[in-house]
Amino acid sequence: MAISKIGTLTIGQAPRPDIAPLLDAALPPQVACIHAGLLDGLDDEAIAARFAVQPGGAVLTSRLLDGRAVVMDKAAVGTAVQEKIHALDAQGCDIIALLCTGEFHGLTTQRAWLMAPDLILPATQTALVGQRRAGILVPLASQIDSEKEKWRGLAVAPVFAVASPYTAPEEEVAAAARSLAQQGAEVILTDCMGYTAWHKDICAREAALPVLLANQLLADLMRNLL
């Protein structure tokens, strides 16, 4: 199947200025791209009405067009993600790349090739890490417990630190990187699509460790399908 159109789906609002250029650079000129967002066209009130965080529930965070971060109920996001995937499928996308590292179970397409980071990236990164201890950088402290399950395939139990890719200043990112190194990490994995080369450079400098960016890895894998 020749790939002529891909769709990207962020759980925030599209296009994502922190991710879209990276993905666009991976596309040959003959491949069209649709950037879609779960929250496209929704104001704060509508977002709160549909995606309000539930007591004790798992959460995800993403970015709005104005640069603000938003925290949402993970279960509600999962339902809406499937709806958006069906819409992109109906628009003729040959590949649909989900721009979120959160775990979603049972996502389906009618014909498109779905690139789901929660299935692809942990397996790839686990193989790369091998017997080393990974340091996982997550956006929210409340995500650590749920992320431990996602990374259960690592040979050595990982360590965690928190710094939001959307709101954390440089010193907070630097402190998180140093914390991972102090906990014995030998490589840093960014567990959110929002972390950029800026975050990578800070982490590499402060921890003196290799850093694997989730969005860069997804873009590299997508490039090899085109």
The alpha-carbon radius of gyration of the chain (Å, integer) is: 17
State the residue for tokens 């699509």. Answer: 193
pLDDT of 146 reads 82
pLDDT of 145 reads 87
pLDDT of 136 reads 98
CA distances 12 to 67, 70, 79, 116, 189, Å, are 10, 8, 14, 16, 22
Helix, strand, coil abundance in the chain, percent, nearest 5: 40, 20, 40
pLDDT of 65 reads 96
Alpha-carbon distance of 64 to 51, in angstroms, equals 14
pLDDT of 147 reads 83
Is the Cα torsion angle 57, 61, 65, 67 positive or negative in sign? positive
Residue (of 103, 101, 183) closest to 149 by Cα position: 103
Domain 120-213 sits in CATH at 3.40.50.10660
CB burial readout 39-60, b (16+ within 10 A) else e: beebeeeebeebbebeeeebbb
pLDDT of 51 reads 98
pLDDT of 106 reads 93
Strand (E) or helix (H) holding 216: helix 214-223
pLDDT of 165 reads 98
Pairing outcome for strands 69-73 and 59-63: antiparallel
| Residues in contact with 189: Cβ distance below 8 Å, sequence separation at least 6, in sequence order | 125, 129, 134, 135, 136, 137, 158, 211, 212, 214
Supply the DSSP string of 17-43, one letter for each residue.
TTTHHHHHHTS-TT-EEEEEETTTT--
Which sequence spans correspond to the domains of the chain?
A: 5-115, 120-213
Q: What is the pLDDT along the chain (226 residues), one digit of tens a residue?
A: 689 999 999 999 999 998 988 888 889 999 999 999 999 999 999 999 999 999 999 999 999 999 999 999 999 999 999 999 999 999 999 999 999 999 998 999 999 999 999 999 999 999 999 999 999 999 999 999 888 888 999 999 999 999 999 999 999 999 999 999 999 999 999 999 999 999 999 999 999 999 999 999 999 999 998 8
Spatial strand order of the sheet with 211-212 comes to 159-162, 134-138, 187-190, 211-212
CA 177 to chain centre: 18
Strand (E) or helix (H) holding 219: helix 214-223
* Number of alpha carbons in the 13 Å side-chain half-sphere of residue 59: 18
Which amino acid does the sequence have at 126? Answer: T
